[in-house]
Chains A and B, each alone.
Chain A
Amino acid sequence: MKAVRIFVRSVRDALKSSIRNFSLSFASIMCTTVTLILVAVAIVCAANVEKATKSIEDEMSIVVYLNQNVTEEQIKNVEIDIKSRSMVTDVIFKSKDEWKMELAKYSTTFETAFNFIGENPLMDSFTVKVDDIKKLSDTAKYIETIDGVETVKYGEEMVETIITIFDVLQKVVLVIVVCLLVVTAFLITNTIKLTILNRQSEIQIMRLVGANNATIKLPFIIEGLIIGIIGSIIPICVTIYGYVILYSRLEGHLFTNMLQLIKPYNFVFAVSFALVIIGGLVGMYGSLRAVKKHLKI
């Protein structure tokens, strides 16, 4: 009970102090706000990039065309060889007759052309899927070497460009966010340092009347936490309203239907929760640094 009373008192003191030193706290709150807005943007981007990568992975496949005169046995051997690769998740065979029927159904021009040629000019094929988009290129190169394989198609340039863009984007955002978090923690450290200097008499009295170290330090740590949490309010609103509006404006996808955005419900609340936690942790980290450095007990 005593611990609870001391905690409640610390929260009360921290709130009072935040209000009393509002002009000082305001700068830290604003810095936290700006940082957390960027963190929110980063999280939203990263999550959507992740989702896009996943859907591209699902869509991306290798199409393996076999030689014209390939035998049934050779087809079986190619299939076994492809399936033996650990990264291969799915292999679907389509015979040249199936291709012919499909194309003839799709357009009468093809049907006329096939009738004119007489024999089927198409090739048997396998559609191969892999578990990681980054392994697409290597897998394709391997399949190309298998006996009976004529050619392999997998949109190599597009895949590599997308992977590079996403990788760079994620790294840049991560670096920016880490830098901003450090700056915010530093600002909060300064705010709490000034609070500590402001309250030297109080700290001195607390020491002399026998308050333990935790009781003296706790209000400052909670003040940092409060700054962090208040700083996360605007970013949460921006995330919730911003993402919902963005989602409805873009009709749920970016550029193409392949790049579907994450549905707002649940996602925005998860991001908001993350923002509160990050804000609180950065605030507490900043105040802990200040307490460690400037509060000599």
Chain B
Amino acid sequence: MKLIELKKVSKTYPNGVTALADISVPINKGEFVFVIGASGCGKSTFVKLLYREEKPTTGTVTIGGLNVGKIKNGKVYKLRRKLGIVFQDYEIKLLTKLTVYENVAFALECVGMTGKEIRPKVMKALERVGLKDKVRSFPNELSGGEKQRVCIARAIVNDPKILICDEPTGNLDPETSQDIMRVIENINNELGTTIIMATHDLQIVDRMKKRVLIIQKGVLTDDIPPGQYKAPKKEKGEIKKDESSKDIC
């Protein structure tokens, strides 16, 4: 069952740069999809179109039957309540003066939930990411991986249908990255949440055996089914920007 569909989507920024060109791709409910490509190839634009941070220049982006590009600015919040979003820069995205619990609860307070409704949801989300014992800690008392897990907990606390991750392991070491990936995979398996993850960490993509979309210079060049993607042999760890462009693009 199609949950997300991009049809002939192009995005050209006001400065004339074309980030995406004529992309068409359907994504089913409950799928786990990687979006890979070199830096600047259009991965971030791809995910930004999904949470309506950007509008397509041409074509349509549909989520659950709703044409995202047609949503008025004042109504975007309705779409975002159905999505969970995780970024690379967790340092910026956590509120340093709030505890772990408060950071996660913040997402629900903003949409007007009561304390009684918030508490069980927050505890459940923190349990899922393995931070139940850190509820009273402040972000500066956490490791990078733990901070990113708080961000994931906040993204899933509202039971979103789709979890959009933009380079969530970008600032983490390989071991911590694996932990984060396990958490995200569990969310996908246990909650049935559709996951769209933009990354340039090919080792992770290789190990996860999920569907992979490869974007090169704004064009979708490959749509590889689950289990068939093989990272280039040369690359054992996280690939560097210039190398990635050599091997992928």
Contacts and interface: CB of A to CB of B under 8 A. Distances in A.
Contacts of B112: 2-3, 5-6, 9, 215
B81 A205 contact: no
Contacts of B51: 208
A207 interface: yes
A81 interface: no
Interface residues of A, number: 19
A213 interface: yes
B74 A205 contact: no
Contacts of A210: 77-83, 110-111, 158
Specify which of B73, B74, B93, B111 lies most central, judged by the most chain A CB atoms within 10 Å of its CB.
B111
A3 B113 CA distance: 10
A206 interface: yes
Contact of B110 (A201, A206, A297): A206
Interface string A151-195: 000000000000000000000000000000000000000000000
Nearest to B109: A9
A2 B108 CA distance: 12
Judged by DSSP, the binding face of A is: helix
A209 B154 contact: yes
B77 A211 contact: yes
A91 B158 CA distance: 82
Interface in B62-107: 73-74, 77-83, 85, 92-93, 95, 106-107
B149 to A, nearest CB: 16
Nearest to A209: B107
B114 interface: yes
Specify which of A9, A207, A209 lies most central, judged by the most chain B CB atoms within 10 Å of its CB.
A209
Contacts of B110: 205-206, 209-211, 215
A202 interface: yes
A196 to B, nearest CB: 15
A227 B76 CA distance: 31
A71 interface: no
Contacts of B109: 9
27 contacts: A5-B113, A5-B114, A9-B112, A204-B92, A205-B93, A205-B95, A205-B154, A206-B110, A207-B80, A208-B80, A209-B106, A209-B107, A209-B110, A209-B111, A209-B154, A209-B158, A210-B77, A210-B78, A210-B79, A210-B81, A210-B82, A210-B111, A211-B111, A212-B74, A213-B74, A213-B77, A215-B111
| 4 nearest A-B pairs in the assembled complex, by CB-CB distance | A210-B81, A211-B110, A2-B112, A210-B80
